[in-house]
């Protein structure tokens, strides 16, 4: 089969021919339909998520069940499924209840980094991570839901705002645009914030009540004026280091900074500011598979759309270069 492989010795990606994977008793062999490119995939090239051996890239995927292991009971050949991306864990311990990368009993392996991922014609997926796709999920464009979409849902949901309160979405690319739609579906007032006017146009189309370019000198004042004193929460989907410091300034007293983007260097916060509750800080991600059904149900019920540009597997380097440039206004996915 063909697969897009990252090669650490050259720090480059190429499309190679490799064997179709074998599966264990707990796994599903998936004929891939679509695989999405996520910003965290770029961390391979940056060294933030180092791979020591050549590995098939990708951790966002949907496809069709080709074959099942003997312990798989809820799925059968032909089922249309989406899935999360961590294997080698118990799915039961205290760590796994929070995030499977925290497993206390197993050795967590991240698809696309520590074990082969989903930019391939076939993939081996642990059945614990899988779910049947809702009928209104379009197969070719649904892969981003299974990292970006679920993450966006948890990010907005865990801010615990009340309808009518103000949420700032900082970074309005494909992930942020889903966050905007989810926030509006929860009854929130939304300000989309980005440095790219084309992206801000897409944020308006996604439903943002207002959009603000954070390169403007009066950016903070504009946001505070619109939100009548500051946002109740700012969800930072951007990975730009500067976005986090500026987002604190647009919060009202005791507002929540929700960290989703992963900057290249550690963030710094003033302990005195946190002590007096000037602002609060939290973070989240896709979470464990037991939290996935609620997110998928919400996305389906409220018809949350993901704007996706589709490519062929052979165009993987073009996708990577475009994401590196920061000029993409949508999610990107390979359709097989």
| Judgement on whether residues 137 and 75 belong to the same structural domain of the protein | yes
The answer to whether the CB of 304 falls within 8 A of the CB of 149 is yes
| Judgement on whether residues 236 and 300 belong to the same structural domain of the protein | no
Residue 162 confidence (pLDDT) = 99
| Judgement on whether residues 123 and 143 belong to the same structural domain of the protein | yes
Tens of pLDDT along the chain (336 residues) come to 999 999 999 999 999 999 999 999 999 999 999 999 998 898 888 888 878 899 999 999 999 999 999 999 999 999 999 999 999 999 999 999 999 889 999 999 999 999 999 999 999 999 999 999 999 999 999 999 999 999 999 999 999 999 999 999 999 998 999 999 999 999 999 999 999 999 999 999 999 999 999 999 999 999 999 999 999 999 999 989 999 999 999 999 999 999 999 888 899 999 999 999 999 999 999 999 999 999 999 999 999 998 899 999 999 999 999 998 878 878 999 999
Residue 327 confidence (pLDDT) = 80
- Strand pairing class (308-311; 331-335): parallel
Residue 183 confidence (pLDDT) = 99
SS3 of residue 267 by DSSP: coil
CA pair distance 280, 6, nearest whole angstrom: 38
Residue 175 confidence (pLDDT) = 92
Secondary element (H or E) of residue 282: strand 279-283
| Judgement on whether residues 245 and 309 belong to the same structural domain of the protein | no
| Judgement on whether residues 247 and 123 belong to the same structural domain of the protein | no
CA pair distance 84, 60, nearest whole angstrom: 7
Domain span at residue 67 reads: 2-147+287-335
| Judgement on whether residues 27 and 128 belong to the same structural domain of the protein | yes
Number of domains comprising the chain: 2
**What CATH number is associated with residue 265?**
3.40.50.720
Of 283, 304, 320, the residue that ends a domain is: 283
Q: Under 8 Å CB-to-CB from 20, ≥6 apart: which residues?
A: 1, 29, 121, 122
Angle of the 292-301 helix axis to the 148-157 helix axis, nearest 10: 90
């Amino acid at each position: 089969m063909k697969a897009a492989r990252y090669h650490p010795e050259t720090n480059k990606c190429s499309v190679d021919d490799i064997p179709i994977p074998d599966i264990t008793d707990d796994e599903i062999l998936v004929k891939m339909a679509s695989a999405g490119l996520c910003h965290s995939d770029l961390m391979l090239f940056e060294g933030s998520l180092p791979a020591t051996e050549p590995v098939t890239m990708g951790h966002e995927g949907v496809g069709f069940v080709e074959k099942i292991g003997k312990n798989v009971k809820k799925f059968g050949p032909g089922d249309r499924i989406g899935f999360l991306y961590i294997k080698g864990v118990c799915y039961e311990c205290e760590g796994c209840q929070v995030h499977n990368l925290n497993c206390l009993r197993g050795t967590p392996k991240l698809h696309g980094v520590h074990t082969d991922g989903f930019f391939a014609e076939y993939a081996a997926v642990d059945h614990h991570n899988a779910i049947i796709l809702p009928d209104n999920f379009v197969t070719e464009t649904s892969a981003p839901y299974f990292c970006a979409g679920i993450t966006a849902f948890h990010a907005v949901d865990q801010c615990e705002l009340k309808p009518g309160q103000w949420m700032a979405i900082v970074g309005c690319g494909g992930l942020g645009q889903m966050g905007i739609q989810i926030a509006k579906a929860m009854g929130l007032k939304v300000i989309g914030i980005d440095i790219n006017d084309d992206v801000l146009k897409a944020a308006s189309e996604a439903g943002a009540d207002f959009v603000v370019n954070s390169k403007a000198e009066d950016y903070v004042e504009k946001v505070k004026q619109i939100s009548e004193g500051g946002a109740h929460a700012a969800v930072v989907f951007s990975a730009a280091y500067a976005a986090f410091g500026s987002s604190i300034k647009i919060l009202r007293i005791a507002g929540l900074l929700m960290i989703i983007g992963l900057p290249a260097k550690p963030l710094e916060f003033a302990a005195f500011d946190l002590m007096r509750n000037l602002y609060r800080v939290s973070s989240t991600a896709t979470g464990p598979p037991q939290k996935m059904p609620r997110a998928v149900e919400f996305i389906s019920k409220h018809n949350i759309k993901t704007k996706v540009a589709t490519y062929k597997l052979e165009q993987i380097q073009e996708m990577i270069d475009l994401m590196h440039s920061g000029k993409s206004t949508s999610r990107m996915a390979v359709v097989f």
